Structure 1
Amino acid sequence: MGFIVAAATIMVLGLLWALRAVFLVCRDAGEEDTLFDQVLLAVPTAALSECSRQAESMFETAEAGLKMALELFQQYDSAKAQMVLAKKRELDQYEEQLSACIAKIPGHALSEEEVRQRVKLNLTIGNIQALGTCAVKLKKLAEKGEEMEVLLTEADRRDLLVVSEAMEELVHLLALAYHTGDLEAVPQAQALKKVIVGLLLQLKTSVVVCLKNGTISADACYVLSCVYMDCEDVLEIAQMIQGGIERTAPARRKKRSLREELTHGDADQTALVQYAIKYSI
Structure 2
Amino acid sequence: MGNDGGSIPHRSELVKTKQKGEQKDKACAKAALWNNCSLSEQLLQEPIVSDQLGKLFNKESILEFLLDKEKYASTNVGHIKNMKDVVQLKFRKNPELEDHPTAPKFICPMSGIEMDGTFRFVYLLNCGCVFAEKAIKQLNKFEACVECGKSATPADTIVLNCSGEELEKHREKMEERKKNKKKKKHKIEETVTSKVETKKPKVAEKVIEKQKPEKSGSKLKKSIQEDPEASSAYKSLFNTCEAAKKQKKAHWVTHNPMYY
> Which of the five TM-score ranges fits, normalised by the shorter chain?
under 0.3
Larger Rg: 2
The higher relative CO (CA closer than 8 Å, separation ≥ 6) is in: 1
Q: TM-score, normalised by structure 1?
A: 0.22
Q: TM-score, normalised by structure 2?
A: 0.24
Higher helix share: 1
